[in-house]
Amino acid sequence: MFDVIERFKSWADALDVDFCRWRYIAMSLSGALVLLSWVAFFTVGPNWGTDFTGGTEIQLKFDQAIEIGRLREGLRHLGLSDDAVQAINGQDSGEFVVRISDPTFGMEGLEQDVRTSLTGLYGADWIESMTGSAEVSARFVVAHKDPPVDYQVVTRDLQATFPGARAMPSTNENQIAIEIPGLSERIKARIAAEMGEHTFTVLSTDSVGPKVGAELRTQGMVAMLATMALILVYVAFRFDLEYAPGAVVALFHDVSMTIGVFVLLQLEFSLQTVGALLTILGYSINDTIVIYDRIRENRERYRRSDTVTLINKSVSETLSRTITTTLTVLLALVTFLFWGGPVLRDFAIAMLCGLVFGVYSTVYIASPLIIIFEDWKPFFAKFLAITDSGPEDGGPGGDDSGEPGTGPTVTESEKRRRARADADKIGPGTPPKKELLG
Partner 1 sequence: MEGIYWFRIGAVAALFFGSVWVLLPTALRASAEDRFAEAARGVEAPADLGPSLGVELPVTEGDPIALAGVLETRLRVAGVPFANVGSLPKAVAVRLSAGGSREAVAKFALAPGHATVHALDAVTTLDPKGPVAAPPATLPAPAVEALTTAVGPDANYWAAQVAKLDGVRLAPDTVALPVSIVKAEQTDTGVRIAWAEGQPFPAGVPLGAVAVDGVVAGFVLPDGAFFPVGASRDPLALLISGPTPGRMGVPVAEPETATPATEEAPKTAVSNVPPWLEGLLPDTAIALGLDLQGGIDLTLQVELEEAILGQVTRDTAFLKDAATKEGLQVEGIRRSHTQPVIEVTTDAPLGDVQTFMKKQAGDYTYADTREGRIHRFELSETRQEQVRDQAVNQVLEVLRKRVDATGVKEPSIVKKSGGRINVQLPGMQDVQASVDAIGTTAVLEFRMVDEEFDDAYLEQMMKAADEALPDDQFLDDDLLNIWLWENKRLDQDRIILWRYDEQPGVDPVRAEPYPLISDVVLTGNDVNDAGVGWDQNQQPFVTLEFKPRGGQIFCDITGKAVGKRFAVVLDKEVQSAPSIRERICGGAARIEMGGSENPTKDAQTLALVLRTGALDAPVVVASVRQIGASLGADAIRQGTTAAVIGSVLVYLFMVLWYRTSGVIADIALSINILLILAGMALFGATLTLPGIAGIALTVGMAVDSNIIVYERIREELRLGVHPRKAVDIGFEKALVAVLDANITTAIAGIVLYSYGTGPIKGFAVTLLIGIVTTLITTVFVTRTIMEMLTRSSAARLRI
Which residues, numbered 159-198, are part of the site for partner 1 (CB under 8 A)?
159-160, 163-164, 166, 168-173, 177, 179, 181-182, 184-185
Candidate segments 33-41, 189-197, 261-269, 342-350, binder of partner 1 by CB under 8 A: 342-350
Beta pairing partners, 139? 133, 179
Residue closer to partner 1, measured from CB, 35 or 230: 230
What residues contact 345, with CB distance under 8 A and at least 6 apart?
A: 336, 337
128-157 residues in contact with partner 1 (CB under 8 A) are 135-137, 139, 147-153, 155-157
335 binds partner 1 (CB under 8 A): yes
413 binds partner 1 (CB under 8 A): yes
State the nearest-atom distance from the C-beta of 339 to partner 1, in Å: 4
Exposed, middle or buried, 328 (CB in 10 Å: 0-12/13-18/19+)? Answer: exposed
Residue closer to partner 1, measured from CB, 4 or 385: 4
> Rounded CA gap, 247 and 236, in Å?
10
Residue closer to partner 1, measured from CB, 294 or 303: 294
227 binds partner 1 (CB under 8 A): yes
Alpha-carbon torsion, ordered 415, 421, 423, 425, to 10 deg: -150
235 binds partner 1 (CB under 8 A): yes
Is residue 188 within 8 Å of 202, Cβ to Cβ? yes
Which among 183, 179, 123 has a CA at the least distance from the CA of 151? 179
Is residue 110 within 8 Å of 137, Cβ to Cβ? no
State the nearest-atom distance from the C-beta of 344 to partner 1, in Å: 5
266-295 residues in contact with partner 1 (CB under 8 A) are 271-272, 274-275, 278-279, 281-283, 285-286, 289-290, 293-294
196-225 residues in contact with partner 1 (CB under 8 A) are 201-209, 211-212, 215, 219-220, 223
State the nearest-atom distance from the C-beta of 405 to partner 1, in Å: 20
Four-residue CA torsion sign, 354, 359, 364, 365: positive
Is residue 204 within 8 Å of 59, Cβ to Cβ? yes
Is residue 180 within 8 Å of 137, Cβ to Cβ? yes
Size of the site for partner 1 (CB under 8 A): 105
Residue closer to partner 1, measured from CB, 23 or 299: 299
400 binds partner 1 (CB under 8 A): no
